[in-house]
Structure 1
Amino acid sequence: MMSQRALVREPGAQFARCISSHPLHHTVNVARARTQHAEYATTLTELGLEVIRLPRDDTYPDACFVEDTAVIHSGKALITRLAKQSRRGEEDSVEELLQEYLPIQRIMAPGILEGGDVIRLPTRIICGISQRTNRSGMEQMQTYFGVPVEPIADPYLIHLKSHLTYLNHNIMLTTQVYTHHPILADFDVLVVPENEQYAANTLTINDTVIIPTGYPQTKQLIKDTGVFDIITLNVSEITKCNGALTCLSLLF
């Protein structure tokens, strides 16, 4: 999907207290995370996007992961209801900004929905039913956008985009977990090596794919398609907070 803008927010003072199961979580360096985030935002600007920066939020440790707070499709924005009580409130400033650009609606209880579970396609959506998104949230999203929403249900899943991202040109990048999932039957599927699973989360801006540094096999896999330019970014501190490339922006 073509995007003109990216909404971002740099890591706040409490970033090291993020929700994370990463074994190196205790080594998070906030200053380095901000440097990596700045490089990310600069890259989006260089790729032609208007980068809109929300003020830093020093209250919510995970507030830089703006992707989770809204889903944008069909010229409208849906403000999510985050699964973790400790994150609820992050979405308020996102809603305030997005309403300057788009019609807005909110997910209502008992629905929960996070953008990390939502793969936006031009005429439909794939949605993870996970630890962070339930069927009520998915159904409210389908009603609001008026497009087909296809579920991938997995109770062990935190966010679907940790395993699956859409590159454009009908190409889907996946871990081995979803290689043969029937929802992917109509796509050209690229499977990341088992030892490079983190690289399944990529961010495509038009025909440029951004991937994390340190995953050469996945980089070559994408390069071999012959249709994408590739940029690598170091997101080591983001990784320690169980974050990834798509988590850091809302594209519209």
Structure 2
Amino acid sequence: MTDHSFRFTHALCRSPARSVTDGLRAVDMGAPDPDLFLAEHAAYVAALRAAGAEVTVLPAQEAFPDSCFIEDPALCLKGVAILLRPGAPSRLGEAAALRPDLERHLSAVVELPPGGFVDGGDILCSDDEVMVGLSARTDAGGVAALRPLVEELGYRLRLVDTPPEILHFKTESSLLDAETVLATPRLAATGCFAGYRVIETAEGEDAAANAIRFNDPVMLSKGHPRTAARLTAAGFDVVELPTTQAALVDGGLSCLSLRYSLPGEEQ
């Protein structure tokens, strides 16, 4: 088993813009505080570095309020970046703006062919499978365009019907290791994780499901003690991080970085 689904050497992040106060949100719970967001983002970057990542933090892009959620416009697999097409109109320019940085840091960059939309927040990758959830931001046309690109890299693609009340597939799921998924009871009940071991978030702690495994640690949003205890009991090394400001603009831990290894660097 290669474990390239959670063992990485690099991460690419983007500093939150002051304009993040205008970021997209399904439910308006108030605007984030840009200074507090920056502090929480710095703690996130520090945790990635402590886990062994070589982290590059790109400058803020004021023209794109949601651009700190760098995972949505690109997918990194085996050192290759696939430029995606986010489904929200205000984010359509993010992939093109990100491309020069991807070309500097990744071994190759390919572009999603025309035909639909795909958000990185709807993509969950194991060692050999790319699961893509349909959502308000990802459609069947986009998934059809993505399929040959991931198959060429040696993955099979599986389409998942995300319940309509869930914004992104990874809003309520994350990969803990090549065979284990953390998910909300609601998403797990759909049966979409057949073949995986599923650890469910505790009642009232749905937001904990958007976690990331980076090398040894599982990074979890702070404030979900019972889910943290479940993961610890299952043998995972849990690091809790504050995400109060990202949560105000529909963000979480996974969308704040692109995690990857270059060919020959896999751990």
**In 2, are the aligned partners of 1:174 and 1:190 still within 8 Å (CA)?**
yes
Question: Alignment RMSD, CA only?
Answer: 1.4
Q: How big is the shift at 1:77?
A: 1.3
Match of 1:122 in 2: 127
Q: Residues 150 and 157 of structure 2 are in contact (CA less than 8 Å); yes or no, is this contact kept in structure 1?
A: no
Amino acid in structure 2 at the alignment position of 1:217: R
Deviation, structure 1 residue 194: 2.9
Partner Cα separation in structure 1 for residue 252 and residue 177 of structure 2: 19
- Give the drift of 1:169: 4.6
Q: What is the CA distance between 1:13 and its match in structure 2?
A: 1.6
How many angstroms apart in 1 are the aligned matches of 2:167 and 2:83? 19
Is 1:202 equivalent to 2:211 in the alignment? Answer: yes
Q: What are the ranges of 5 or more consecutive residues in structure 2 without an aligned counterpart? A: 261-267
Structure 1 residues without counterparts, runs of 5 or longer: none
Distance in 1 of aligned mates of 2:216 and 2:141:
34
Which residue of structure 2 lines up, in the alignment, with residue 244 of structure 1? 252
Q: What are the within-5 Å matches in structure 2 for residues 151-170 of structure 1?
A: 151-154=159-162, 155-170=164-179
Instruction: Give the 5 Å matches for 1:68-107.
Output: 68-100=72-104, 101-107=106-112
Whole-angstrom CA distance in 2 between matches of 1:193 and 1:57? 36
Aligned ranges 1:23-34 → 2 under 5 Å: 23-26=28-31, 28-34=32-38
Q: Calculate the TM-score normalised by the size of structure 1.
A: 0.95
Deviations 1:95-147 (A, max 9, x none): 11112222211123331001000001111111101111111211222201212
Q: TM-score, normalised by structure 2?
A: 0.89
Alignment counterpart, residue 132 of structure 1, candidates 123, 127, 137: 137
* Identity percentage of aligned residues: 26
- In structure 2, what is the Cα distance between the partners aligned to 1:35 and 1:22? 23
Q: CA deviation at 1:235?
A: 1.1
After the TM superposition, which segments of 4 or more aligned residues of structure 1 sit over 4 Å from their partners?
none
> Over residues 142-161 of structure 1, what are the superposed CA-to-partner deviations in whole Å (9 max), with x where a residue is unaligned?
20121211111134432100
Aligned length: 250
Match of 1:221 in 2: 230
Q: Residue 264 of structure 2 aligns with which residue?
A: none
Aligned position for 2:16: 11
- The aligned residue for residue 239 of structure 2 is 231
Mapped partners of 2:88, 2:196: distance in 1 = 33
- What do residues 11-39 of structure 1 show as CA deviations (whole Å, max 9, x unaligned)? 1020100001344223x211000011011
Amino acid of the residue matched to residue 80 of structure 1?
L
Aligned-partner Cα distance in 1 for 2:129–2:199: 20
Q: 1:42 Cα shift?
A: 1.0
Trace 1:150-189 onto structure 2 (pairs within 5 A). 150-154=158-162, 155-189=164-198
